[in-house]
């Protein structure tokens, strides 16, 4: 029988919470899920007091501590060692791979202009950067902060990915990355810019023009703003009739 040390344990937080041992999902109560997700996003040991106060900010100290003990017990019922806990501190078990840790590392590589990224210019990277962090968990402040931080990072990373792919002549993939950036934030002009650049690099001026008009329509409808001068100058003005 294999032990947890040799098993592949994966925690997925992008698109929603899933804990896998090998390829089998592990059932956890919601309170245990919250505790695991919180510890994974902290990415370092935290004191029991800090964890309890953050996860249950409205509760009294004694109630928050009791809730934490209950969540720890529920996590242990999974039958797998998922949390390393001492008298004073706790952290996610070190053998667990967390998808967002890898996605964040790849995002930072894409943003580092001195870093070669050919090995991560692939669909997996684009898919992870297209995904929201725990999209259905928006009822706690700690979740909202983590969601916004990752959202902003992935927007910049998708744009950087589109630029790298355009430079490499991989125009179809560049367009896909640009589209992902636009879908993630339709009012973000820089996302439309990298997508238009990808279309132009591929020689698809009609597609570039169409994307510009989409951007313009969205900005006008939502914000009452025209695109910036720099975006307008990406494309030649159509000939007046």
Contacts of 39 (CB under 8 A, 6+ apart): 46, 51, 83, 90, 91, 92
Identify whether 3 is part of a domain.
no
Indicate the range of 2-6, 75-79, 148-152, 180-184 predicted with least confidence: 2-6
pLDDT digit string, tens, across residues 89-148:
999 999 999 999 999 999 999 999 999 999 999 999 999 999 999 999 988 889 999 999
At 237 the pLDDT is 63
- Looking at the structure, tell me whether residues 137 and 197 fall in a common domain: yes
User: Would you state the structure tokens that stand for residue 220, as one six-digit string?
Assistant: 């006008």
At 191 the pLDDT is 97
Indicate the range of 59-68, 187-196, 228-237 predicted with least confidence: 228-237
Span 214-238, average pLDDT: 90
Q: Domain span at residue 53?
A: 9-94
- Looking at the structure, tell me whether residues 129 and 88 fall in a common domain: no
Span 150-154, average pLDDT: 97
The pairing of strands 46-47 and 89-92 is: antiparallel
Going by pLDDT thresholds of 50, 70 and 90, the confidence category of residue 241 is very low
Identify whether 182 is part of a domain.
yes
Here the CATH number for the domain that contains residue 178 is: 1.25.40.10
- Looking at the structure, tell me whether residues 129 and 225 fall in a common domain: yes
Number of domains in the chain: 2
- Tell me: pLDDT of 26 over 90: yes
- Looking at the structure, tell me whether residues 144 and 226 fall in a common domain: yes
- Looking at the structure, tell me whether residues 128 and 205 fall in a common domain: yes
Residue 105 dihedral angles phi and psi, to the nearest 5°: -60, -40
- Looking at the structure, tell me whether residues 163 and 202 fall in a common domain: yes
pLDDT digit string, tens, across residues 10-24:
999 999 999 999 889
Here the CATH number for the domain that contains residue 55 is: 1.10.10.10
Side-chain half-sphere exposure of 35, counting CA atoms within 13 A: 29
Identify whether 108 is part of a domain.
no
- Looking at the structure, tell me whether residues 226 and 125 fall in a common domain: yes
- Looking at the structure, tell me whether residues 125 and 217 fall in a common domain: yes
Which of 134, 187, 186, 194 has the alpha carbon at shortest distance from 158?
194
Identify whether 174 is part of a domain.
yes
- Looking at the structure, tell me whether residues 40 and 138 fall in a common domain: no
pLDDT digit string, tens, across residues 177-224:
999 999 999 999 999 999 999 999 999 999 999 999 999 999 999 999
- The distance in angstroms from the start CA to the end CA of the chain is 78
- Tell me: pLDDT of 55 over 70: yes
User: Would you state the structure tokens that stand for residue 114, as one six-digit string?
Assistant: 């001195």
Identify whether 63 is part of a domain.
yes
């Amino acid at each position: 029988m294999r032990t947890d040390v040799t098993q592949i344990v994966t925690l997925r937080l992008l698109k929603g919470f899933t804990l896998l041992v090998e390829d089998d999902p592990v059932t956890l109560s919601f309170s245990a899920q919250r505790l695991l997700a919180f510890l994974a996003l902290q990415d370092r040991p935290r004191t029991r007091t800090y964890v309890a106060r953050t996860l249950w900010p409205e509760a009294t100290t004694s109630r928050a501590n009791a809730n934490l003990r209950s969540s720890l017990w529920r996590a242990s019922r999974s039958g797998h060692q998922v949390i390393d806990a001492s008298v004073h501190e706790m952290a996610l078990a070190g053998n667990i791979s967390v998808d967002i840790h890898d996605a964040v590392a790849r995002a930072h590589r894409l943003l580092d202009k001195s870093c070669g990224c050919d090995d991560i210019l692939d669909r997996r990277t684009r898919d992870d950067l297209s995904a929201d962090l725990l999209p259905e968990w928006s009822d706690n402040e700690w979740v909202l902060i983590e969601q916004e931080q990752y959202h902003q990072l992935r927007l910049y990373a998708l744009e950087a990915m589109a630029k790298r792919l355009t430079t490499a002549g991989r125009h179809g993939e560049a367009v896909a990355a640009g589209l992902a950036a636009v879908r993630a934030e339709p009012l973000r002009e820089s996302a439309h810019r990298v997508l238009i650049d990808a279309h132009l690099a591929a020689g698809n001026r009609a597609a570039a023009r169409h994307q510009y008009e989409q951007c313009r329509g969205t900005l006008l409808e939502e914000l009452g703003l025209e695109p910036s001068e720099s975006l307008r100058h990406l494309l030649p003005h159509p000939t007046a009739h």
